[in-house]
Amino acid sequence: MSTPDDTDDGDEPERLDGGVVDLQDPDESLDLGTSLSDRENITTDQEKYDARKIVTGEARYTADYRDRFPELAEARIVRSDIPHGRVIDIDTSGAEEMDGVHAVITPWDDVVPDTLYSPSGQSYPEPSPWDTRVLREHVRFVGDPIAAVAAEDRDTADRAARKLAVEYEEYDAVFDIWEATRPDAPRLFDDSEVENETTGADYERNLESHFEGELGNPERVFEATGDEQILETEWETPYQSHCVPEPHTSIVYTDEDDRYTVITATQVPYHTRRQLSHVFDVPIRDVRVVKPRVGAGFGSKQEMVIEPIALALHRKAGLPVKLECTRQEEFYAIRNRHPMALQFKTAVDEDGNPRAMDLYVRENSGAYGTHGMTVASNVGTKAMPLYPRVPHMRFAGDVVHTNLPMGAAQRGYGAPQGMFVVEAHLDELARRLGEDPVEYRKRHAVREGDTDRAAAILKDGDRFERTIRSCGIRECIERGADAIGYDDIDQPGAEHLHRGVGMALCAQGSGVAGKELGAAQLKMNEDGSFILQVGGVDVGSGNDTMFTQIAAETLGCEPDDIVVKSSDTDIAPFDYGAYASSTTYISGRAVQKAAADARERLLEWGGRLLEEPAENLATGGGEVYSEETGASVTLEEIGYESIYGDEDREHIMGQGHHATDESPPPFGAQFLTAVVDEETGEYEIEEMVFAADCGVAINPPLVEGQIEGGVHMSYEFATSGTLSFDGEGNPETLGFRQYGMPRPDEQPPIESIIVETHEPTGPFGAKSIGELPTNGVPPALSNAIRDAVGVRLTSLPIEAEDVKAALDEQPD
Amino acid sequence: MQVELQLNGEMNTFEASKTDSLLDVLRKNGYTGAKRGCDTGACGFCTVIVDDEPRNSCVIPAAKADGSTVETIEGLGSQTDLHPVQEAFVNHSALQCGFCIPGMIMRSKALLEENPSPSRAEIREGLSDNLCRCTGYEKIIDAVEDVAGSAAGQSGDSAVVTDGGGPE
């Protein structure tokens, strides 16, 4: 592993104070004084916890639970086929008369609440508007759910759904984010149709939110700077589908205690429980949400998408109901990455140093506001912290409704759009200053010890300003440059072909600062193993594995000695869920604290059995041993003695929770080479390298998997994936065949590099990795094409015809 | 109607409706390893081996499958005795959410039976009918390459052994 870059400052303990809530003074005791080389279960390639059941097909996802229910109704949603209007009537008689139909529900049904809520899987009250109803009379895009059917099988449900006759009153629709805010634009939301509005909402102008924040005095700097030192650029980014492997699926039934149980493909079991309770006005205690294996989320399941419809159908049908979305619905009716238009302006001083930055984003929120304002705000608060020493900054955004599918959380959460703009703009700026674009950014980028105010630019006060305690960004640049051969790029033989190299820096967070809670509990078994109950949600990335490593390292046993029971609201302690790259940093720390708590009891019992004071003792290798005498007792002996002993008995347990204002950014550098044909504009990305500083990588192969999967999504965003609509808002992208998700033979090779730093506030030095690598390919590709043929591409996806058009406009 | 399959080495007769696909028949009868990802033959999550060919079972009508020989993920190794392809996926951490993996493994097994020592490019090409959203494909290709490498190193055909099991 690498050593800290010599341009980064070393650790300075005095930084570990200043104004931070729950700053980890317990950290050192939790680290147990072991140096990296002593660690047995951290930075190891522990086999993925669920690997064997996955490769044998025995892992159970929601739809696989069907065999538990002899009488399981299958469900289908009926969706709006107009972009804007009001449902006047639904004739359900044809469907209700069919054999095998158990329930048909419409917005007017008694079992369907008309409560306004936000489906966003966020903390309470959600920082997203309450603008959604379970089924919608007022429909706002092609795909809005208006009715649903449950029947004895899928085929009957499909046929019944097609028999529903829907009558609409049609309204004018708007599809463009600039037209939508004009006074004459059709209005999507009346005043009575939204509660819990977000910052700067103005629904008369279809404005879900307007926000702005400032550091220093950027306006004065721009006024005082000559035009030749100011660079202004404009950018556009499209919809991206999550292409989530497992379609949204839920099974809802009532258990023998007359409580609702929801088995569901979710990233947010606890938020879903609370939201179902509120929407249906039933006590939280009467709802149980269970997350089985989940076929990934990428943010699309950081939402309560279909659970309320399944629950309403269950209430009406009186039978367990399974609702499984189709792939077509996933593409046109569920959730997407928000499209955006962005403007960026910088001012440099006479030496070329950046003095001011001004970023504006106009986000297409689509028909509903879930994650609208929060994603848009992350465009700036994730990307601008790459350059926290720029003294004057402004960031503003407008979040606009249109009659198109809704955006929502998607891996990266605004950061990919932000990084595209900031990193391609700064590359352009460096080139115009006559500087090497990599060296320029290396010089100005964030350093360990920096105070980052940009992450808090939209917040009042200084509570969320942060100190950068770990930063390996320069080593990421150096190792990435070495791997791609930055200093030695050959040109192809043919004259019309040009090879370029591009680099983009990346940053993210580790959880939502000040809005997270993770909790965990360990229970010891007689044989020295443990049951770990943890709220942290593994939707595929390997968190359960990471939990076993952290627990084992702390307890002094093997990861295989930890049995994980996670993400069942009846069994596992609370957790906000799998989003914002929080699980290792927040839930992992909760596990570490629970394990430290249990370890104290192990030492106490070890002391009794060894007749030595607990402070002489340590754990390791499945034993409690004396550092003084070398005597030892196994965890199994402690397990039996503590439960069945003559003198005293105790069930050895440990509890921990973690909540913090900290959200240390992981950093990365994306490099790629591309060969561009100057005659046709066609280009080919040859190789992609991503070097990541995620602190200590607890499980390097799983970290590499996160990098490679993130780069895959980022590659798609840059080159191929988008949704298209006709002029009436009808979706034209309805399946994988129309959508450009890269297949194995279309995906250029990816090299992942792990640059280790030590984050003092993280579990065993870890930060996050899940979202970071989703950010880099669009700017790196724009930069590589600029390097190859001199044109700047500013709109995604970058297609050959765009490159050709830019080449044609280029002066000879 | 009834559908007769030689499934993982054993003859089975299943009830099916006219609109059922082979995937429907398998999943209704407890063979849930094959996943429903698109129902249009575009993602490969439902890949099983039908009469020695890897096929998307969601687009094979049950009636058409009648009388065929079908191999599913349930017919490969068990958790304590993995098939070499399964073992390679585990050893290379070539899986995350796992939803595409049973299909990907069946496709890989068929690929290796067809071409025991494929190049990396041939592996990419051979797996191109199967999507994966989590891994960026790198570790999956590593895993298949590893099996090919070890099979080439041995003279036997360990990569093509099946044990004919069924779902629990």
Domain ranges (residues) in chain B: 2-75, 84-160
Closest-CA distance, A244 to chain B, in angstroms, reads 7
A521 - beta bridge partners? A533, A655
Pairing of strands A497-507, A466-467: unpaired
Number of domains comprising chain A: 1
- The reply to whether A647 falls in a domain is yes
The SS3 of residue B120 is helix
CA quadruple A97, A103, A104, A105: dihedral, nearest 10: 150
Q: Does A334 lie at the interface with B, CB-CB under 8 angstroms? A: no
CB neighbourhood size of A580 (10 A): 28
Q: How many CB pairs under 8 A join A and B?
A: 192
Q: Does A285 lie at the interface with B, CB-CB under 8 angstroms? A: no
Pairing of strands A287-290, A260-264: parallel
Q: Does domain B2-75 have CATH number 3.30.70.260?
A: no
Distance between CA atoms of residues A631 and A187, nearest Å: 76
- The reply to whether A719 falls in a domain is no
* 8 Å CB contact of A747 and B137: yes
Of A55, A709, A712, which has the smallest distance from its Cβ to B101's Cβ? A55
Pairing of strands A73-79, A145-151: antiparallel
* 8 Å CB contact of B86 and A56: yes
Which positions ≥6 away from A134 have C-beta within 8 Å?
A107, A112, A113, A114, A115, A145, A279, A308, A309, A312
Cβ–Cβ under 8 Å, residues B132 and A708: no
pLDDT at B159: 40
Of A54, A324, A709, which has the smallest distance from its Cβ to B101's Cβ? A54
Residues of B whose CB is below 8 A from A247: 36-37
Give me the count of residues in chain A. 812
Nearest to A46 by CA among A422, A440, A386, A553: A553
- The reply to whether A447 falls in a domain is no
Residue B131 banded pLDDT, cuts 50, 70, 90: very high
Of A59, A295, A709, which has the smallest distance from its Cβ to B135's Cβ? A709
Distance between CA atoms of residues A309 and A665, nearest Å: 37
Distance between CA atoms of residues A671 and A688, nearest Å: 6
Selected for mutation to probe chain A from B27, B39, B104, B138 (highest A CB count within 10 Å) is B138
Task: Tell me, rounded to whole angstroms, the distance of Cα B71 from its chain centroid.
Answer: 7
Q: Please tell me the number of Cα atoms within 13 Å of A579 on its side-chain side.
A: 30
pLDDT at A525: 98
Nearest to B90 by CA among B103, B106, B105: B105
Residues of B whose CB is below 8 A from A63: 27, 32, 36
Selected for mutation to probe chain A from B97, B104, B132 (highest A CB count within 10 Å) is B97
DSSP 8-state symbol, B63: H
Nearest to A126 by CA among A754, A750, A577: A577
Q: Does A721 lie at the interface with B, CB-CB under 8 angstroms? A: no
The SS3 of residue A264 is strand
pLDDT at A14: 35
pLDDT, tens digit, for every residue of A720-767?
988 999 999 999 999 999 999 999 999 999 999 999 999 999 999 999
Distance between CA atoms of residues A714 and A781, nearest Å: 10
Q: Which domain holds residue A631?
A: 32-59+517-658
Q: Does A70 lie at the interface with B, CB-CB under 8 angstroms? A: no
Paired tokens of A467: 């100190």
pLDDT at A388: 97
Cβ–Cβ under 8 Å, residues B49 and B71: yes
Of B91, B128, B139, which has the smallest distance from its Cβ to A708's Cβ? B139
Whether omega for the bond prior to residue A797 falls within 30 degrees of 0, making it cis, is yes
Cβ–Cβ under 8 Å, residues A135 and A87: no
Residue showing tokens 């809530």: A21
Angle among Cα A587, A574, A696 to the nearest 5 degrees reads: 0
Paired tokens of B91: 């050893």
Q: Does B130 lie at the interface with A, CB-CB under 8 angstroms? A: yes
Cβ–Cβ under 8 Å, residues A354 and A348: yes
Distances (CA, A) of A302 to A122, A336, A508, A576: 8, 12, 18, 10
In our burial notation (b when 16+ CB lie closer than 10 A, e otherwise), range A516-537 reads bbbbbbbbbbeebbbebbbbbb
Which positions ≥6 away from A810 have C-beta within 8 Å?
A790, A791
Residue showing tokens 């570490």: A592
Cβ–Cβ under 8 Å, residues A335 and A305: yes
Distance between CA atoms of residues A742 and A623, nearest Å: 49
Residues of B whose CB is below 8 A from A244: 133
Q: Does B79 lie at the interface with A, CB-CB under 8 angstroms? A: yes
Nearest to A286 by CA among A296, A298, A276: A276
- The reply to whether A648 falls in a domain is yes
Which positions ≥6 away from A373 have C-beta within 8 Å?
A127, A128, A198, A199, A208, A209, A211, A397, A399
The topology under which CATH files domain B84-160 is: DNA polymerase; domain 1 (1.10.150)
Instruction: Please state the φ and ψ torsions of residue A396, each to the nearest 5 degrees.
Output: -140, 155
Report the CATH number that the domain containing residue A540 is assigned in CATH.
3.30.365.10
Helices and strands (H, E) in chain B, number of each type? 6, 5
Q: Which residue of A has its CA nearest to B35?
A: A246
Of B35, B136, B168, which has the smallest distance from its Cβ to A708's Cβ? B136
In our burial notation (b when 16+ CB lie closer than 10 A, e otherwise), range A211-243 reads bebebeebeebbeebeeebebebebebbbbbbb
pLDDT at A39: 86
Distances (CA, A) of A389 to A310, A448, A454, A508: 50, 12, 9, 17
pLDDT at A36: 55
Closest-CA distance, A294 to chain B, in angstroms, reads 6
Q: Which residue of B has its CA nearest to A324?
A: B36
Give me the mean pLDDT over the B55-64 stretch: 98
Cβ–Cβ under 8 Å, residues A576 and A582: yes
Segments in chain A below pLDDT 50: 1-29, 31-34
The amino acid present at A132, given as its one-letter code, is T
Task: Tell me, rounded to whole angstroms, the distance of Cα A81 from its chain centroid.
Answer: 30
User: What is the ipTM for the molecules in this complex?
Assistant: 0.94
Of B43, B135, B137, which has the smallest distance from its Cβ to A736's Cβ? B43
Distance between CA atoms of residues A383 and A415, nearest Å: 6
> Is residue B108 over pLDDT 70?
yes
Q: Does A710 lie at the interface with B, CB-CB under 8 angstroms? A: yes
* 8 Å CB contact of A327 and B89: no
The SS3 of residue A482 is helix
Distance between CA atoms of residues A807 and A793, nearest Å: 10
Q: Which residue of A has its CA nearest to B19?
A: A155
Distance between CA atoms of residues A57 and B32, nearest Å: 7
Paired tokens of A225: 């700077």
Of B77, B135, B138, which has the smallest distance from its Cβ to A56's Cβ? B77
* 8 Å CB contact of A246 and B37: yes
Selected for mutation to probe chain B from A49, A50, A52, A54 (highest B CB count within 10 Å) is A54
Distance between CA atoms of residues A32 and A551, nearest Å: 12
Pairing of strands A530-534, A562-566: parallel
The SS3 of residue A530 is strand
Distance between CA atoms of residues A763 and A585, nearest Å: 6
pLDDT at A26: 41
Q: Does B162 lie at the interface with A, CB-CB under 8 angstroms? A: no
Pairing of strands A260-264, A249-254: antiparallel
Q: Does A798 lie at the interface with B, CB-CB under 8 angstroms? A: no
Selected for mutation to probe chain A from B46, B58, B134 (highest A CB count within 10 Å) is B134
Q: Does B41 lie at the interface with A, CB-CB under 8 angstroms? A: no
Nearest to A664 by CA among A743, A767, A566: A767
* 8 Å CB contact of A705 and B96: yes
Nearest to A397 by CA among A181, A182, A183: A181
* 8 Å CB contact of A744 and B130: yes
Q: Does B64 lie at the interface with A, CB-CB under 8 angstroms? A: no
Pairing of strands A138-139, A85-91: antiparallel
Residue B150 banded pLDDT, cuts 50, 70, 90: confident
